[in-house]
Chains A and B, each alone.
Chain A
Amino acid sequence: MATKEAFADVGHDYTSTGLNHTKVAMWSFLGSDCLFFGAMISTYLLYRTRTLSGPTPHEIYDIPFTSVSSFVLLMSSLTMVLALAAIQRGDHRGLRIWLFATAFLGTTFIGGQIYEFTTFVEEGLKLSTSPFGSAFFMLTGLHGAHVTVGILMLLSLAGLSFSGKLNQEDSLKVEMIGLYWHFVDIVWIIIFTVVYLIPTE
């Protein structure tokens, strides 16, 4: 009768699924962030018509401007995935170029947000003006905060690469920050449509 092995001889890096811990964690976190933005977007949808005596959405939105910054953010997802492809084939120069491109596009987007916010405030829409104002600024503000954190992480990756500490085997780090970055982009895809484009009648 064959005796069953009581003990397992596994390597240091054994996992039950063959998948990477950090990747499982990152996708769980992104699933959780769906609830975060879902709650905030719902608040916006509830409050977008509650404008008191302040500006209404379509009085104040500058669609051409926001379209351009949406396009910028969208393209930053392309540069991000090109950065990942570069490090995966060991192209360090390509990695740095595309990381900087992504950070640059992200910073341009944030610059656009800041310009938009200051313009709105000048035109009479502040956080305190109305529920619409509160919801608009908090939703786009939280998104912008997410983008800013992403930019910091991108620049850190670039820094690591420059000091020779980001190797081909470390491409996972780039992949993880990439996942975060793309998520921030898809949240904006939703925000651009739901907040800016869909009319409030």
Chain B
Amino acid sequence: MAVAAYRQRGLFARPSATSGWKSWFTTVDHKKIGIMYGVTAFFFFIIGGLEAIAVRLQLAQPNGDVLSNDLYNQFFTMHGLTMIFMVVMPMGVALMNYFIPLMIGARDVAFPRLNAFSYWVFLLGGIFIYSSFFLGGAPDGGWFGYAPLSRTLPSHGMDFYAIGLQILGIASLAGAINFVVTIINMRAPGMTLLRMPVFIWMSLVTSFLLVFAMPVLSIALFQLMFDRLFEANFFNPAAGGDPLLWQHLFWVFGHPEVYILILPAMGIVSEIIPVFSRKPLFGYAAIVFAGAAIGFMGWGVWAHHMFAVGLGPIANSAFALSTMFIAVPTGVKIFNWLGTMWGGSLRFTTPMLFAIGFVSMFVIGGLSGVSHSIVPHDAQQTDTYYIVAHFHYVLFGGALFGVMAGIYYWWPKIFGHMLSEGLGKLNFWLWFIGFNLTFAPMHILGLQGMPRRIASYPDGMGWNMWNFVETIGAFVIAVSVLVFLANVAISRRKKVEAGDDPWDARTLEWSIPSPTPEYNFARVPMVHARDDFWHKKYIDTPDGEPSRVFAGGANGHDEHEDHGVHLPSPSYFPLAAAFGLPVLSYGTIYHSVVGMIAGALILVLGLFAWALEPQFAEGEGGH
């Protein structure tokens, strides 16, 4: 086999450092990239939370004057955009990035530089969108950008929306393709699809949803952008444009998007509940098929976001039925999680509390969701706070609880030390109480007729008390987040060593040292069963009690050996190419041909240089 001779090319020598602060800019290591995603997403979570606090302060009392109408519109729009695209999605991606290779026995993802590119594009896209606050105003047309309002709003805010989401979409699409290939093609020998952990299955379905849904949003955004910047008429009613086209395109993306938001969290709790019940997941195959079913069926329900626009009784009935049906696979999962806990030896650790919180809060959100599927019911509920209650129960009560569970569960593997259980439990209870205090009353307010997306409400509607309570709740959530940050800081200092497998868990990532070595696995594991690591640790004895095998399954404690593992080399080009996108975007918004050409050149040249650069730098590729 020919050994290709790789020259060092260009003005800059290829970076080679894999430690030190500079190495983070050029890393292609999925673990570092996962950490960057997580830190960035958490930072945006704080910002999105502050936006929510501002909204709640404005709405705490009738005729609020904390925020002007214009600022309110920007804050609630950015709260939605931030939480969906810059918090929940990247948090899921952070955990997927770190743990997919570890759980399938791989040493990285399929395309390490593409992985880095996805992260930098996400970061730069988020900064791009936020820069709008300083450039005339942030997006103010709602995260859903309904036309024709979104095409006429005068500040550049919705231009930042249309283009910024395209940038984030590129990051998501690239990441999704990366994970699809990784999961399909890089599983350790013996890990058949039906031996994969459920988190991997859910990540695969999520990635397919991203692959097929993001392009539809992209077209909608191109059309909005052209309407705004180049006088097109896609959504101009005076010219025969149809606002419903926007809604269809947006929700054809938007509905699969909500499954993209929730499936990773469902995967996370499917890992956590068995560990802390000391029982295998009940009905693995049913959960897997239910997840895939949700992925498929999620494409058939989008117009339930449009029940009040006049689609007519046939369309409304069809989508009502499909929406009712999609509750079924989710119900299957709920019962399987309960079945896992039933009869198990339960340990109520912080991750387990968050996981159980996920199951219960998500059920509540699902119940209100099913009530929306009844069209006449929805005619009253739509555009009220009842809907706001629903989606916060499934997105906060669901996705965010699940993400917190994952963070507490996997923290020891990433950093090598435990998070404090005491502070963790305080974090959980404040989070749980604050969340319910904030969002439960919204069901009531909605049914009492309080509309959503309003900057203030008049006195005398009977809405004052619950609004005030909700604002208190928001502050309780804020305190809970502070407790979490305190937990992170204090635990870092105390450094209670975790060991490889502090939870006595079931999956492959716990078979390697904590924190994770750079090469992940000293030796590629051979997988013989589902929960292979568990079966290497425990063998079943005749009386049914599992018997511990000493040091069974441990992988990688002879650190003095190099193991001959060659990892893909660091690279500047993902970051360099990523810079082209915001430059191109600013150029487009401000009609600067120079800017557009510069941005396009940076992107194209960066991509070229990347394509010509070998994955392994000279000297790294062989013995």
Contact = CB atoms under 8 A, between A and B. Distances in A.
Interface of A: 4-10, 12, 14-17, 19, 21, 24-25, 28-29, 31-33, 35-36, 38-40, 43, 46-47, 50, 52, 127-131, 133-135, 138, 142, 152, 156, 169
B524 A36 contact: no
Interface string B230-241: 111110100111
Interface residues of B, number: 54
Contacts of B536: 6
Given A33-B215, A35-B213, 9 more contacts: A6-B553, A8-B188, A8-B524, A15-B185, A17-B184, A19-B185, A50-B239, A127-B231, A134-B227
Contacts of A152: 604
B524 A127 contact: no
Nearest to A50: B240
Interface string B190-216: 110000000000000000000111111
A7 B233 contact: no
A46 B219 CA distance: 14
Contact of B526 (A7, A12, A17, A40): A7
Query: Top 4 nearest A-B pairs by Cβ distance?
Result: A36-B215, A50-B240, A128-B231, A39-B219
B212 A32 contact: yes
B232 A32 contact: no
Interface string B502-532: 0000000000000000000001111010000
A90 B249 CA distance: 47
Contacts of B566: 12
B219 A43 contact: yes
B28 interface: no
Nearest to A12: B566
Given A39-B220, A131-B239, A28 B523 contact: no
A165 B361 CA distance: 58
Contact of A7 (B110, B234, B239, B525): B525
Contacts of B226: 127, 134, 138
B467 interface: no
Contacts of A38: 216
B239 A52 contact: yes
A12 B186 CA distance: 11
A130 B239 contact: yes
A47 B2 CA distance: 56
A32 B231 contact: no
A23 B2 CA distance: 22
Nearest to A135: B234
B219 A36 contact: yes
A47 to B, nearest CB: 8
Nearest to A24: B181
Given A7-B526, A8-B524, A128-B233, A25 B177 contact: yes
Given A4-B526, A39-B249, A52-B240, A32 B230 contact: no
Contact of B110 (A9, A21, A127, A142): A21
| Main SS at interface, chain A | helix
Nearest to A18: B185
A6 B249 CA distance: 50
A134 B232 contact: yes
B311 interface: no
Interface in B551-605: 553, 555, 566, 604
Contacts of B188: 8
A4 B216 CA distance: 48
A200 B553 CA distance: 67
B117 to A, nearest CB: 13
Given A8-B190, A21-B181, A169-B2, A128 B526 contact: no
A134 B219 CA distance: 13
Nearest to B611: A156
A130 B241 CA distance: 8
Nearest to A126: B231
Interface string B444-474: 0000000000000000000000000000000
Nearest to A20: B185
Given A6-B525, A127-B230, A138 B184 contact: no
Contacts of A24: 180-181, 184-185
Contacts of A40: 219
A138 B222 contact: yes
A38 to B, nearest CB: 8
Contact of B232 (A16, A19, A127): A127
Given A4-B526, A7-B526, A46 B212 contact: no
A142 B241 CA distance: 20
Contact of B234 (A8, A14, A43): A43
B383 interface: no
A8 B508 CA distance: 14
Contacts of A156: 608, 611
Nearest to A149: B604
Contacts of A128: 230-233
Contacts of B154: none
B96 to A, nearest CB: 16
Contacts of A10: 189, 524
Contacts of A5: 526
A28 B181 contact: yes
B111 interface: yes
A39 B232 CA distance: 17
Interface in B100-137: 110-111
Nearest to B554: A6
A1 to B, nearest CB: 11
17 contacts: A6-B526, A8-B526, A9-B524, A10-B189, A10-B524, A21-B185, A28-B177, A32-B173, A32-B211, A43-B245, A50-B239, A127-B232, A129-B233, A131-B233, A131-B241, A133-B233, A138-B223
